[in-house]
Structure 1
Amino acid sequence: MIVYDVVTKGFVLFSIQTNSFNQFAGLYSNPNAIGLQLSVSLPMLIGLMFFKKGSKASTNYLYYFLLIFSLIVLLLTNSRASIGAVFVSISYILFKLKRRYFKYFFIGIVVSALAFFLIPILNDFIALYLRVDRVFENTRFYIWTMSIDIIKSHYIFGVGPEQFATKIYANLPVMLGSFEEFQIWWAKSGTSHNFFLYRFTETGILGFFSALYLFYTFFKISSMVEKLTKFKEPRYYILSVSISSIGAGLLGRAFLESTGLITNGWITRDLPFWIAFMILIHLY
């Protein structure tokens, strides 16, 4: 686990190497995998906390412990896409269930942002944590450029499932032997780091529309379930809002990552979302 790495390697977890943060992932080789799991489990946990009326104090403490622990692990993954997804999910839940808390949450975010900008030490730390210096010099931009070039040549049927890697060097936008080329080669596992580009690149225009239709179907069902349960079944309403927030978070994440929804050969990444979606369909 990530926390095990922190304990054994020390809190120098965020040590700087090649001008960026190290990312530890425990038993996973990719910290984004854990971030993705937390993008689904954290909204469900927060939704569960709204069920806790009349619960024992020990149960409430357990919820708070799990919430704090999960948030710490999420921050330690240093996965910006997953952190953004959880932020969107929390905002959605609070807006739907506790509008007053949403206002406090929003004010807290604004105040924190101002503090980070105005206090040099905090500014430097957050910039380092978010790897701001790499925002415009990111491997994703090269991969997106390659994906768009591939789409221009294969926009009808795409290049085929798991064939993205075979087209990389025909559309490489950097010099061979460079650090960027090594990073692109390392990240070549059939992913465009964007769910919509990923579907378009590998399965053509039908794949792109299927990606759009997935979210259209999800939010259509979720909105109908919320309307059906809001006044009749309060607990089901909370559950439907929690699942809807997962979809909202993963929609935002889909612009930065391609896994977690419909991924070739990585069912363990997609399963949490589809389990939540099946629960939503059952409520429908």
Structure 2
Amino acid sequence: MNINTNRSFSFLIKFFLFMWIAFIPMKTSVYQISFIGILGVFFTYLFLHKKILILKSIFIEHKNIVFSFGIILISMTISNSLSTVTTIDSWSAEFHYVFRYFFIFVILIFFHKESIISKKFVLFTVLFSLSFQGIDGISQALFEYDFIKHNVSSINDGLSGATFNRNTFGFFMSIGVSVCTGLLFYNQRYKLTYINIYILSILLFIFLFNLLFSYSRASWLFYGVFFLILCFAEYKKISKKHFLIFLVIAILIALVFFYYDNLFFRLGQLFKMEDSGRIPIWKDVIDLIKQNYIFGYGLMSYASIASQPILSVHNSILEILLFVGLFGFISFALLLYFILREIIQIRNHFYLALFFAFLVITQFDNSIIKSITTLSSLSIFAFFIFAKNNTIEST
């Protein structure tokens, strides 16, 4: 295969991957088309370069992840087959688990192993996508509509940017501020230049502003968990300079909360642990789980069996138990165990903080069964954890 052909494959996979990541928050047709493009480039490259052995080596190297994921699929298939309320959406959700989220993880690992993409490129694309949304959120705060999709909202109502609701927008802004915090904290490890630090600092404040005014309490919790775990894990590395920066930012945030009544009200709701209607949903789900706790009711079944017109469970543990039962729950727990074990083995506290932040937010929002935004984000996060070498500065 000549050099020009290799360059063409490199350009195409980077282009489609860039577009796919950029449009994850908005879930538009561009997201779907670019994913099909990624699959097309992958299978064409695999066929023309005869790289089946490389693919096989990836499955062997990550056999624990492949095994646990396979068990999850078996549990989904059993639950969907045994359920009396299974619909086409149930099988569609399982199909996407394989051909969208697992495949994207494998494809990222594959092209990273082939030195076609690097962690730097994926990180840049993620930050570009989040920055695009963040700037759009600023536009919405100033003009009460975003410049991408013209969603109407304001600081008083809660910013949603070009996403479909403020919780989703807050979710991505919490990822953005967490990533910027981690990169700035480990700036020497990642060999950041002064320009890198300057840009990331600006982005951090943009993401933080949007995060606050999304009014998404679950997203606030995401960043809170990330920050606390990172500080606890790296307390020996926290200098007076770090402490001073944290203090100044904390004072600024406190002033913003006191100035904006809506923010202060939402904060009060968080501390009072107001559930926003989730507790009645959880009680209903628990009652349903008790009746069919081994294999559950199949994917996407809650709307058919709920005692109230609610589509989402708002809790990943209950969602798994409801859909795929105890067997499926054990399968998911096994997958989480292998991921957490890998993070501990590579001693990456940045990833550890993100892991628990993702785990916590899915107890209140962001379905891990059907949410395109959540599952796509987790696929990318898994790539960073398992791609060797496990440092962002490496390719």
TM-score w.r.t. the length of structure 2 is 0.52
1:192 and 2:316 are equivalent in the alignment: no
Computed over aligned residues only, the root mean square deviation of the Cα atoms, in angstroms, reads 3.3
| Aligned CA distance change for structure 1 residues 244 and 84 (closer, same or farther; 3 Å) | same
Which amino acid in the other structure matches residue 293 of structure 2?
Answer: Y
Alignment check: 8 A CA contact 1:37 1:272 kept: no
CA apart distance, 1:39: 3.6
2:369 to 244, 253, 263: 263
Structure 1 residue identity aligned to 2:373: T
8 Å Cα contact 1:43-1:245 kept in structure 2: no
Please say if 1:272 is aligned against 2:380: no
> Cα distance 1:80–1:96, how it changes in 2: closer, same or farther (>3 A)?
same
Give the one of 162, 166, 177 matched to 1:27. 162
Deviation at 1:93, TM superposition (A): 2.2
| 2:265 is aligned with 1:143 | no
Which runs of 5 or more residues in structure 1 are unaligned? 16-21, 173-184, 227-239
Residue pair 1:144, 1:192 contacting (<8 A) in 2 also:
yes
2:294 is aligned, of 156, 169, 178, to 156
- Return the alpha-carbon distance in structure 2 between the equivalents of residues 275 and 73 of structure 1: 22
1:59 to 180, 183, 196: 196
Letter of the 2:323 partner, please give it. Answer: E
Q: Which moved more, 1:196-205 or 1:40-49?
A: 40-49
What residue identity is the alignment partner of 1:222? I
Contact 1:23-1:78 within 8 A present in 2 as well = yes
Given that residues 180 and 204 in structure 2 are in contact (C-alpha distance below 8 angstroms), is that contact kept between their aligned partners in structure 1? yes
Aligned to 2:172: 37
Structure 1 pair 128–45 and aligned structure 2 pair: CA distance change class (3 A): same
Structure 1 counterpart of 2:357, which letter? G
Aligned-pair identity (%): 21
Q: Residue 123 and residue 271 in structure 1: after superposition, are their counterparts in 2 closer, same or farther (change >3 A)?
A: closer
Q: Secondary structure at the match of 2:203?
A: helix
Structure 2 counterpart of 1:248: 356
Equivalent position SS for 1:52? coil
CA displacement 1:16-56 (0-9 Å, x = unmatched): xxxxxx23312222222222223433333222224534754
User: Residue 301 of structure 2 aligns to which amino acid in structure 1?
Assistant: Q
> Is 2:312 the partner of 1:165?
no
What are the ranges of 5 or more consecutive residues in structure 2 without an aligned counterpart?
1-135, 146-152, 391-395
Shift of residue 250, structure 1, vs aligned partner: 1.3
User: Structure 1 residue 59: deviation in Å?
Assistant: 2.7
Larger Rg, first or second structure (1 or 2): 2
How far apart are residue 100 of structure 1 and its match? 5.5
Aligned 8 A contact 1:31 1:79 in 2: yes
State yes or no: 1:94 paired with 2:247. Answer: no
